[in-house]
Amino acid sequence: MSNFKRNVLTIFILAILLSFSNTNPEVIPREYFPVELRPAFERKFKSPVFLTPFPGGKARNRIAILEKRGKIWLIEKQRDKESIRLFLDVESKTLSAGWEEGALGLTFAPDFEKSGRYYVYSSRSSPRRTVVSRFTLKFPAGNVSLDALQTTAIEEEILSIRQPFANHNGGMIEFGPDGMLYIGVGDGGSGGDPRGYAQNRYSLLGKILRLDVSGKKGYQIPPDNPFAFPEKTGNEVKKKNRQNCPDDLCREEIYTWGLRNPWRFTILANGDLIVGDVGQNLYEEIARVRSGENHGWNIFEASHCYKGNKRCRDSGFTMPIHEYDHNEGTSILGGYQYNGSELGTLRKQYIFGDSMTGKIWALNLSSPKKSQLIHQAPFLISSFGVDHQNELYALDLNGGTIYKMVKSTFRETQKANGR
């Protein structure tokens, strides 16, 4: 049996087991953890895959939750009252039958209160493809109550990428502090990147893209993208870009390449992207991504030569800042640098996890070789999310519950009892 088929079978079996039980025999007793997960809402969702703050002056307690099937819900909690509204329903358009297909990413424009624009990353059929859609609300949404919210929106497909297989779709989209839209795209799937898309700079697969979506239609190429050839750019930048791509066979949308499946990333205040790139058979990695870098897949798996590839001896590859092998976990889940207050001692730590084992770690990005295990969830974690207060959440894919990360009450109780 091929590694790809074996991995898919393993994932399928684990998904079935997790859907029937919340018991994981390998879960470490909670008294060892500084963090616990507490259900945040009464409502359960159908395969939630992303959570993000909903922008707006009256929306400080409002968050958006994306379901894999193609629905976005807005939920608001005021004291003991929990309110919910359906914000978007594109289930009929969304291809979600595959394990890694569906509505996978969501972000709101920096000027959402004025423009009413938000973006969804999803899978579509006929042909099988990844689509980034821009939705524009007909009426302002940020400064109105949840009940008065008008959700009618116009959709424009601004980017479409053909997908040869059902897996490795990536799915993260996020605006950076520079106002550009960053998009994480997987290598096209199967196993081992058989068509070499991640290293092919004329393909958008296996890349992080960077687009200017501030115009009225479609997108523009930012002139400082590593392979951009803007007509009105200075000679020095043109010369640099031609050195980056001497044969001119490079897509200008590319920001960085050589990635396998960048399912989740975050963008730091300094513009650095911290990406959890899902590995193949042996290793999972966290990469610090900057413009014009080659992160090595499928020549390397994390920092290790993949199947004895002769190009491993070449220079010019950017190695991960952190990695772990499959004794620790098998599907890395990129997270966030923690900027909240609930988990005081973890402030400024990068919180990430492993979807399949439920492990959650904290990592100091200044010295990222060693991580601290802070929790292990007894369910498959689809994604992490943050709210307006920068507090962290973990999403249970099969159970549908949204959990908030809080300081362990067990440890506090033990201290109070003198234990």
pLDDT over threshold 60, residue 294: yes
Residue 60 domain boundaries: 37-331+383-397
Cα 134 to Cα 155: distance, rounded to the nearest angstrom: 6
User: What are the pLDDT digits (tens) for 28-74?
Assistant: 566 679 999 999 998 999 999 999 999 976 677 899 999 999 999 99
Q: Which two tokens stand for residue 291?
A: 């413009």
pLDDT over threshold 80, residue 413: no
Does residue 151 belong to any structural domain of this protein? yes
Provide the percentage of residues in the chain whose pLDDT is more than 70. 85
Lowest model confidence (mean pLDDT) among 9-18, 338-347, 348-357: 9-18
Provide the percentage of residues in the chain whose pLDDT is more than 90. 78
Does residue 29 belong to any structural domain of this protein? no
**What letter represents residue 271's amino acid?**
G
Does residue 369 belong to any structural domain of this protein? no
Does residue 225 belong to any structural domain of this protein? yes
Q: How many CB atoms lie within 10 A of CB 16?
A: 11
Q: Which two tokens stand for residue 320?
A: 């991960």
- Domain containing 60 — which CATH number? 2.120.10.30
Does residue 143 belong to any structural domain of this protein? yes
Beta carbons of 297 and 289 less than 8 angstroms apart: no
Residue 411: per-residue pLDDT: 57
**What pTM value is reported for the model?**
0.90
pLDDT over threshold 70, residue 264: yes
Does residue 351 belong to any structural domain of this protein? no
Residue 396: per-residue pLDDT: 98
pLDDT over threshold 90, residue 173: yes
Does residue 218 belong to any structural domain of this protein? yes
Torsion of CA 97, 284, 51, 10, to 10 degrees: 30
Task: Work out how many domains the chain is built from and give that number.
Answer: 1
Does residue 375 belong to any structural domain of this protein? no
Residue 25: per-residue pLDDT: 39
